[in-house]
Structure 1
Amino acid sequence: MLASMQQISVSPVFVGRGSEITELTDALRRAGTGSPQAILIGGEAGVGKTRLLEEFLCRAGDAGALTTLGSCLEVGAEGLPYAPLAAALRRLHRALGAELEGAAAGSEGHLARLLPEFGEADGEPNDEYGRARLFEHTARLFERLGADRTLVLAIEDLHWSDRSTRELFAFLVRTLHRSRVLLVATYRTDDLHRRHPLRPFLAELERLRTVQRLELARFGRREVAAQLAGILGTTAPDRQLVDRIHRRSEGNPFFVEELATAVQDGVGAGLTDSLRDMLLVRVEGLDEDAQRVVKIAAEGGSRVEHALLAAVLADDEEALIESLRAAVGANILRLDGDGEGYCFRHALVREAVSDDLLPGERHRINRKFALAVEAEPLLVPGDALPARLANYWYHAHDPARALPAALEAARAARRRNAFAEQLGMLERALELWDAVSEEVLANTLRPYDWAETYPPGSCDHGADDCESIQLVDVLAEAVVAARRSGDRERGLSLARRGLRLVDEAAHPLRAAWFHINRSRMLDSLRRSGSNEEIDYALRLVEHLPPSAVQADVFALSAGRGVIKGPGPEHIELAERAIRIAEEVGAHSVELHARMTLGYLRYDVLGDTEGGLAELAGAVDRARTLGVPDVLLRGINNLANMRRGLGRPEEAVALAREGLEFADGNGLLRNIGSILSGNLLEALVDLGRLDEAAEVLAACEATGLTDGHVEFLDRIRGDLALLNGDLAGAATALARARASDRQGEVQHTVPISRLAVALAAHGGRPLDARAELLAELGREQRLGYESDVYPLLVEGATVEADNRGLPQAGPGRAEALAAIAAAAAELRPRAPLHHGWARLLEAELARAEGADTPEQWAEAVALLRTTGLPHPLALALARAGEAELVAGRREAAAELLREARELASGRGDRLLAARIAGLVERGGLDLAAGERPAAAAAPAPSVGDSFGLTPRERDVLRLLARGWTNRQIAEELYISPKTASVHVSNILGKLSVAGRGEAAALAHRLRLFPDDLAPAGS
């Protein structure tokens, strides 16, 4: 029936847009080489975005590409998530059939949340991790479809997109790597007011290398003339007509078509300058019945099904068909892409028709749509039913029907992991709540699904009350939706409103639930107040009967102790959380608490093996239960603990397992950065720097830079420093510090250690000391011996290297005392820790000029048992230096040879250069007994990285002896002015403030081994 309708093609020729077509075609070509592309096409309403897209998709299809298209609906911003992606997939399903099902194999349960045709949705929880999995599996589907040919996915009218669609589109742009996929989206520029959500979205996407943004300009006179020629069927339209239409349309192609049609209909002279009137002229030219059909269709949505329109109109079928034929023939309506319904030829026409309705008319028409859909739900697609019904009742101004419909639409959005749309519908319900009587609420709202928001046992307001939904329940669900959608500021506000409604004396569990959710959101925002929220919740639930909320509060409080300073009370809280969670069946809470307890046993009780066993047992149980987020937390913590105990090989295996599991479950971008950080640290410990560089490159390629960026940036700094790249290390350090807003010890200590090392190698010992003292001034460092010991050794090395320098005197005793005091607080519990402790004791003795070869030998012996190249190489170098001072040259050569091999094998260019300086100063020959593999190119001099010329090195040597410019000039046979210029250049290249700092740097780095004593010693 519908297929027989004929539609007038107002503009049968494609005009202009040559450069835009070229850019789209070039992007298609690049995508075809395995470099995915994204094109964002903007322009005002009516400027020709759709026509350009249609032309390009036709050409791409002719070139062998697989194309699909989905359009955002105006209703999208009000609770209908993923509409364009679902439409695009539905078109692919009709076109490809079994091929699409094959590409979706293994992901059907996830993809069913987008497209019901894939079958039943999986039974996984609707949480933020489920959303991440949905996004990951969608990306994989498009990657598979683009494996053998280029896939073009086009989305129209992005300005109407729901937030979930925008986030999924952005995810595809960022994560489709090495895929033959081209993403194209159009949007209206004139709709983007200052606070429109698409503005920051577009700005963020534009930063990506693969994203291009095209802005369509209006037509010039020549293009308007070509368009008119096509419409009017003439090769040379009247010049005056072209001028008049160009002037009145201002080059907008849609307005050109409307004006040209008016001319054809003989009403050109009667048109007003009002845009709305111009848009309505063609509608007003229809007969009364056809106008009525058009007006009702305008309230049906961006797309309205034929069967639904017939049900609402309740007219004779033949009369309806004639009215629709007239509307389609007049180019007001057109058949939709599925051939099952209608949409307006242009959204501007629909807006004009809808705006022309009286308020009462709009309410009445929407009511008819709502009643028709309630009577026959199959009139609309099942995935769109809840949101469509909610919107019809809302615009019908019937709060009693709109409120339950909004809640049902929120539930439907939650089931699809579309939390932003869920939040929007819940906020609508909150808006409508006071407009609905208590009696109506009790009779129309179905029982609340407690398990989705409150864990079992948290309904503490009476059994009868638990059978009906209350306002606080809607607020609670909205809090969770806000947190899961990332709108944590809104979540905090909603939780505050919920707390105002809750009588905490009568309902302490509910109040505690809101407090712990505020704590989680404050943590995510990296804002203060999180601990206070947990403490308050703890006071509320401490003496209550067992419940899941109580167990959660205890577990969170115990976990907070791990970060802020653990004690026996936190062990007790973790154990109570485990007992209660077991009793009430809160399995995830129990596993979280067991993982926390494992760390607390390790940290507080010093029970290393017991803590490892507890944590490993919880990880094994999480594997059995299949709880992805809990399992990944456990794997991450276990890898970190084993690496800290000097077992990096085990840490590497665990971190790789975690990354593989995260990738397979769509969680790689949620936790991949911290897992990668643990893997990187372990690889650096093992001296496998090439592998570490590959992991960092993979992090960049897959976009693992959103969470824990300070972790990855700090490791970049470590790698740069090992390579002697001081500038690169400084850049990475600055980025790490800018990102580390939470100040957790597991990040601050390694960051401070990098800062101390960088300042020391840059010849700024006072800055290095200040960095060290600032970190040691923090409250808690227990449990992080593997990070704190290297920091203390680095600080002690600075003081030892600068002993005797005049500028190092003030504050030196304070620094050494602070290092010793911090060391006394640590509890070494593994061979690695004991080796670090001996190394630190020897370094502190060297700072006082009292170290002995025996002290260094003890540190070497302990560190040999770890099998790690570092800090063994450092201990060997120090031991060799001590033997050289003692006059035992053969022993020194043996130790330094081994140290050099380890340092070079690990890629530690700075330590290798220091060893080379010792060898040169002592006149040692390390060739004897050397293995052939060790005969690599000599390690570079530290001074090489500063870019000093030979003459500048000569000047620096004399400057380091404390000579004046005149003395330097006389020695080198140059003028004092030339000597002054050289000194200025040297200070700039060394990045030091004065001659004293330059002398200290030259001495500490042993740039001139023959000059054994520093200036002023």
Structure 2
Amino acid sequence: MLDPVETQSVSPVFVGRQDESALLAGLLRGADEGIPQGVVVGGEAGVGKTRLLEEFLASARAAGATTAVGAGVELGADGLPFAPVAGLLRALHRQLGDELFEAAGERRGELARLLPEWEESGAAVPVVEGDAWDRARLFELLTRLLERLARDRTLVLVFEDLHWADRSTRELLAYYIRSVRSARLLVVGSYRTDDLHRRHPLRPFLAQLDRLRTVHRIALRRLSGDEVAAQMAGILGAPPEAALALSVFARTEGNPFFVEELTVGGRPRGALPETLRDLLLVRVEEMDERTQDVLRVVAEGGASVEHGLLARVAALPEPELLATLRAAVGARLLVATDEGDGYRFRHALTREALADDLLPGERARLNRRYAEALADDPTLVAAEELPTRLASHWYHAGDRPRALPAVLAAAVVAGRRFANAEQLRLLERALELWDAVEPEARVGLRPAQRVWSYPAPEPEEPVGWVDLMAEAVIAAQLAGRGERALALCRRALRELDEVRQPLHAAWFWTQRVGMAERLMRGDGSAELARAQELLRGLPPSEVHARVLALEAALLAKRGPDPDVIERAERAVSLARLVGAHRTELYARYTLATLQADAGDGQGAVTEMRAVLATVLRGGDVALLGRCLNNLSAVLIDAGEFAQALEHLDESVELAERYGLVEGHSWLWGNRAFACTAMGRWPEAETALDEATRRASHSQSRQISRVLTGQLAVLRGDLARAEAESEAVLAEIEGVRGGTQFHWELARLRIDLAVARGRPPHAREVVRGMAAGELFGASLLAWMLAFAAATAEAESRGLPGAEEGREAAVEEIRSLTRRLPRNVPIREAMGVLVDAQLARARGRDTPRHWAEAVAQLTPLPLPHHVAEARYGWAEALLAEGRPDGREAAGEQLRAACELVTRLGAGPLGERVARLAQRAGLDLASPAGPAPEPAPEEPFGLTPRERAVLELVAAGRSNRQIAEQLFISPKTVSVHVSRILAKLEVTSRGEAAAVAHRFRLVAARP
């Protein structure tokens, strides 16, 4: 119908873009060699993204590649889930035919969720309970499908208009790029940079892609003056006049689309307004009134409009409609859709400008006509688009009674398509419409899903406001929108009558329990207490079982005492009684953690794996996150780091596959913790980058920063560690959080104080840390105790540090007495802490440290082993036995080797200082190092420098002798020589000179 139409507003000469074209050609060659490639093309509207991709796709097809294009669809505020993916599959089907079905294998029927027309082939669509589970299956199926198709051919997939793509499409695209390792596949995406406001959801997605080495970015610039002239020459068929080219370049600033608009007809068309909308509407206003009316109809129909639907809404005789369409296509305002059954604007900005130019009443009238046409004949659009488009048209038509059921139906479709963010937006729109609709108009409405089960509602029971609120809370949590979920819970509880609806209110309070801790609003105990109060006197229900299970999980942090175990067992029994399968699994998992705390790690892990297998079979993704995270934490707490890392590798893959937004940060954080303890610090740094990037709520963000600070202080990057510590302290001021989080923050601050040479300052941090919940994270508590003991030991002899030492040591002991030693790593850490506390009191012996080294050496804790060897060497030197120096040298050299391999700066400095004080050579076991020549400007020897440093710190001769392992008489001799060389008469003057001339290290 449109074949005879010819236009020449687009330059036949492809201007500029040589570098970009060369990069795309290189990526295509890489894909040809079987290495998957990815590239994202960004630029402002009209800068030439589509033209660049069209030219590249033409060259790719000429080289034998198979290409397919899919585009994001913008329908008012409602993006169509997986629209680009569906478009790609249709394009591939048109080219490959039955080969696409064969590549999908026996599971091709599942793709009918995206392409309902495939159901006509007889493929059954399996239904699995739990939308997120189906979503994961779909991701895996599509990825494997593309791998098979790209095995024997080069496949180029283009995702256009990513700024309009729904969240599910973005997650699927990221999954493709991360999962495909060997295929002849090139994935290209494009987006408008000027559409990306500060909070646009595409921004974090692009940041995620930037971290991948296989993904490239192309930022399209505007054309230069010479390139604009070349583009105009292609359109006009001859070089433009210099003045005209200069005028066009000045007005368009090199935007190729604007250049086309101004060049059509040979010259700029009058004095155009400054705004983009007016510029885009100039060409429209040149058309006759009837064509302008049709263009307005098309503009309000969405990104594209089917011919049959347009004919119904425009209400023109077919010849007149075709004439107007020919004129619009001829003017390059409209183009035919890829399927050939409809139309779209050549540039989306033109459609947006036309839609914005409509009067409110005019827009509502057009949307009503669209909605009525679709209601009369649903076959006018693809079946999968109908609910979303009806919801948008009825909503913008202002017909609230009809918009509400349409929006609910669209929410159902979004849920079935596993698009949680889109479903949340639709449910919130339904809540907006709810109060504006008369009660009789709500009769017969159905919810997207039922979250209530107390008692189970009848299938025909209509949806209520509280159902919508509950479904929105669930959708918000699945979408990783914790703050939004909390706000919805608060609203529900404000508007619920807790006297008449206690079960509903209690359910919302239970949802707040987990969110309180994740968002650092407390530990959830207050929310749980309120739920318990509401349930008092009511018959058993799933909410009762849930409350009991949550209570057991909170109390489990106190350890495996009989009362806690009994509560968890009661939760399991009650859940079975009321048929609450998910709650039963949750309570079983809590029992397993208690089992691990009791020392039966193997039995606990076996039970946890059994629960995990059940969860995977049932597709309960909400519970899957807890299973993956807690199992890794239990393995780490028991010192089974190798098993933990293996499990974390599997968990990260599962989290990626099943869209666990919130669980990612915790999994990467656990991996960072394990790798840090094991001395695999580069891996820990990579894991921390992932944990920080994927953090979806306050607590996960802060724990990532704390772990980053801990790794920094171990490496000696004290400025970074200080910055992380101060940032976290500023953000959590006045905010309640979990005990484990505060332990880790306290350990960071203590380690930082020791590394800064200010160990007495750590005592303020330690004070009060002995209280609180200890189980479920015993290894963290042992590490905190060791950090506190180290601070006390390192402060020996410092002015003012002796006062209160016994109380501080006893406070640390009160913590360790409550900690279990029932697995090797806990026993080893206990022995290490005992030795350090003895050192803090000046009562440690080589035997203390020898036992600590023996316990720690078989474990993957290299930094702690180095700490123990340092303590052993110091104790040997202090003992003063003839063979002690040689043994101390062996321990220091072993410690030096460990800290050098790790890159542990602060501990390495402590080892070097001890060797220097003892006169030991770390590089050779031959014996004492020769005394170096005196150093200028005062001629002090290294030994005199060491004595002067301690004099400046206020130490007495006896304290100096203890630290340098020499006699007080020898110290006196050194002090006399120092006073003479510095030409001073007192120790105070010597200290002043030392600081003035920087003869001793400054203490920050």
TM-score with structure 2 length normalisation? 0.79
Relative to structure 1, the CA distance from residue 782 to residue 393 in structure 2 (aligned partners, 3 Å threshold; closer, same or farther) is: closer
**Within 2, Cα distance between the matches of 1:247 and 1:857?**
80
2:548 matched to 1:554? Answer: yes
- In the TM superposition, residue 185 of structure 1 has moved relative to its aligned partner by 1.7
Residue 224 (structure 1) shift: 5.4
Call closer, same or farther: CA 1:970–1:39 in 2, change over 3 Å. Answer: same
State the alpha-carbon separation in 1 of the partners of residues 528 and 929 from structure 2. Answer: 54
Which stretch has the larger CA shift, 513-522 or 908-917?
908-917
2:407 and 2:585 map into 1 onto residues whose CA distance is 36
Residues in 1 aligned to 2:197 and 2:909: alpha-carbon distance in whole angstroms: 59
- CA distance in 1 between counterparts of 2:928 and 2:173 reads 49
Query: Are 1:137 and 1:666, in contact at CA under 8 Å, matched by a contact in 2?
Result: no
Worse overlay, 553-562 or 832-841? 832-841
Structure 2 counterpart of 1:231, from 225, 230, 235 = 235
In structure 2, relative to structure 1, the CA distance for the partners of 1:82 and 1:438 (3 Å cut) is same
Does residue 481 in structure 1 map to residue 486 in structure 2?
no
Partner of 1:185: 190
Select 2:219's aligned residue among 211, 214, 219. 214
1:333-732 matches, cutoff 5 A: 333-351=334-352, 353-354=354-355, 362-443=363-444, 445=445, 447-451=446-450, 453-454=451-452, 456-457=453-454, 467-528=461-522, 530-563=524-557, 570-600=564-594, 603=597, 615=608, 617-619=610-612, 621-622=614-615, 625=618, 627=620, 630=623, 633-634=626-627, 636-648=629-641, 650-659=643-652, 661-662=654-655, 665-666=657-658, 671-678=663-670, 689-690=679-680, 693-694=682-683, 697=686, 706=695, 708=700
Q: In structure 2, what is the Cα distance between the partners aligned to 1:283 and 1:875?
A: 80
Query: How big is the shift at 1:646?
Result: 4.5
- In 2: Cα distance, 1:793 partner to 1:650 partner: 25
Residues 114 and 771 of structure 1, relative CA distance in 2, 3 Å threshold: farther
Shift of residue 75 of structure 1?
Answer: 0.5
Q: Once the two structures are superposed, what CA deviation does each residue of 1:134-185 show, in whole Å capped at 9, x if it has no partner?
A: 6677677777777888765544445544454556567778888899645442
Matches within 5 A, 1:85-124: 85-96=85-96, 123-124=127-128
User: Structure 1's 722 and 904: CA in aligned 2 closer, same or farther, altered over 3 A?
Assistant: farther
**Which whole-Å CA distance do the structure 2 matches of 1:716 and 1:357 have between them?**
53
AA partner of residue 783 (structure 2): P
Shift of 1:192: 6.3
Q: What's the offset of the Cα at 1:467?
A: 0.5
Equivalent in the alignment of 2:19: 22
- Which residue number in structure 1 is paired with residue 84 of structure 2? 84
Q: Show CA shifts across 1:64-95 (max 9, x none).
A: 66544333333063242232343234324434
Q: Which runs of 5+ in 2 are unaligned?
A: 955-973
The worse-fitting range, judged by mean Cα deviation, of 414-423 and 726-735 is 726-735
User: Aligned equivalents of 1:620 and 1:935: distance in 2?
Assistant: 55
* Amino acid in structure 1 at the alignment position of 2:375: E
Alpha-carbon distance between aligned partners in 2 of 1:809 and 1:633, rounded to the nearest angstrom: 46
Would the alpha carbon gap of residues 177 and 421 (structure 1) be closer, same or farther in structure 2, given more than 3 Å must change?
same
Query: Contact 2:688–2:708 at 8 Å: present in 1 too?
Result: no
The answer to which of 66-75 and 302-311 deviates more is: 66-75
In structure 2, the residue matched to 1:957 is 946
Tell me the CA shift for residue 279 of structure 1. Answer: 5.9
Shift of 1:731: 6.9
Instruction: Give the equivalent residue in structure 2 for 1:73.
Output: 73
Name the CA distance, whole Å, in 2 between partners of 1:363 and 1:830.
70
Cα distance change, pair 891–131 in 1 and its aligned pair in 2 (3 A): farther
CA distance in 2, matches of 1:31, 1:699: 33
Task: Name the SS for the 2:7 alignment partner.
Answer: coil
Distance in 2, matches of 1:401 and 1:509, equals 31
Q: Distance in 1 between matches of 2:511 and 2:322?
A: 55
Which residue identity lines up with residue 73 of structure 1 in the other structure? Answer: V
Alignment-derived partner of residue 801 in structure 2:
808
Tell me, in whole angstroms, the C-alpha distance in 2 between the residues paired with 1:842 and 1:755: 22
Structure 1 unmatched ranges of 5 or more: 927-933, 994-1017
> Which SS does the other structure have where 2:443 is aligned?
helix
Q: Distance in 1 between matches of 2:432 and 2:725?
A: 48
Aligned to 1:329: 330
Distance 1:925 1:294 in 2: 86
Is 1:749 aligned to 2:743, yes or no? yes
| Whole-Å separation in 2 of the counterparts to 1:281 and 1:793 | 74
Q: Which residue of 1 aligns with 2:5?
A: 6
Instruction: Tell me, yes or no, if the aligned pair for 2:130 and 2:620 is still in contact at 8 Å.
Output: no
CA contact (8 A) 2:725 2:749 kept: yes
The one-letter code of the counterpart of 1:482 is: A
Q: For residues 200 and 621 of structure 1, what CA distance do their matches in structure 2 show?
A: 33
**SS in structure 2 of the partner of residue 467 of structure 1:** coil
Distance, in Å, in 2 between the alignment partners of 1:167 and 1:919 is: 55
Q: CA deviation at 1:551?
A: 2.0
TM-superposed deviation, 1:819: 1.6
Any conservation in 2 of the 1:881–1:892 contact (CA below 8 Å)? no
Partner Cα separation in structure 2 for residue 61 and residue 269 of structure 1: 42
Task: Report the TM-score when normalising by structure 1.
Answer: 0.78
Secondary structure, in 3 states, of the residue corresponding to 1:806? coil
Aligned letter for 1:410? A
How far the C-alpha of 1:13 sits from its partner, in A, is 2.7
State how far apart, in whole Å, the 1-side matches of 2:249 and 2:113 are: 48
**Distance verdict in 2 for CA 1:422–1:923, change over 3 Å:** closer
User: What is the identity, as a one-letter code, of the residue corresponding to 2:440?
Assistant: E
| Residues 248 and 259, structure 2, Cα contact 8 Å, conserved in 1 | yes
Change (3 A) 1:647 1:351: closer
CA distance in 1, matches of 2:726, 2:941: 30
Residue 821 (str. 1) matches residue 820 (str. 2): no
Equivalent residue of 1:804, what SS? coil
* Residues 581 and 587 in structure 1, CA contact (< 8 A), matched pair in contact too: yes
Taking the aligned partners of 2:980 and 2:110, their CA distance within structure 1 comes to 79
Cα 1:205–1:787 change in 2 (3 A) is: closer
**Structure 1 residue 62, shift from structure 2 partner:** 4.7
Following the alignment from structure 2 to structure 1, what is the Cα–Cα distance between the partners of residues 53 and 182? 24
> Partners in 2 of 1:539 and 1:939 — Cα distance?
73
In 1, distance between residues paired with 2:486 and 2:927? Answer: 60
Task: Name the CA shift for 1:290/1:797 in 2 (closer, same or farther; >3 Å).
Answer: closer
Are the equivalent residues in 2 in contact too, given 1:76–1:162 (CA < 8 A)? Answer: no
Residue deviations 1:861-884, cap 9 Å, x none?
A: 776897977866755665665566
Deviations 1:928-974 (A, max 9, x none): xxxxxx99999999x9xxxx999895663231352799977776699
Report deviation, 1:474. Answer: 1.9
The SS at the match of 1:759 is helix
